[in-house]
């Protein structure tokens, strides 16, 4: 996995637990059209938006916004 992938997972796991890796993989494939291992810094802004929208279905909206901001700041 790329360094960026590992950083996104490190930020996401406290919010999503063991589901973080599967969630990241789905967001990358469905919205970014890339494999999770190919994640690069240039994808972070778009990925943050995907996380914010997608994570709202499974967590408090304020937490999904907080997570998205952390991802965008990586």
Residue 62 is predicted with a pLDDT of 96
Q: How confident is the model at residue 1 (pLDDT cuts 50, 70, 90)?
A: confident
Residues 6+ apart with CB under 8 A from 60: none
Return the HEC string of the chain. CCHHHHHHHHHHHHHHHHHHHHHHHHHHHHHHCCCHHHCCHHHHHHHHHHHHHHHCCCCCHHHHHHHHHHHHCC
pLDDT tens profile 2-61: 999 999 999 999 999 999 999 999 999 999 999 999 999 999 999 999 999 999 988 999
Residue 45 is predicted with a pLDDT of 97
**What is the pTM for the complete model shown?**
0.93
Residue 12 is predicted with a pLDDT of 97
Give me the count of residues in the chain: 74
């Amino acid at each position: 996995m790329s360094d960026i992938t590992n950083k996104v997972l490190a930020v996401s796991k406290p919010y999503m637990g063991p589901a973080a890796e599967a969630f990241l993989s789905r967001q990358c494939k469905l919205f970014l059209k890339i494999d999770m291992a190919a994640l690069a810094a240039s994808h972070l802004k778009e990925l943050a938006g995907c996380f914010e929208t997608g994570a709202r279905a499974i967590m408090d909206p304020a937490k999904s916004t907080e997570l998205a901001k952390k991802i965008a700041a990586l």
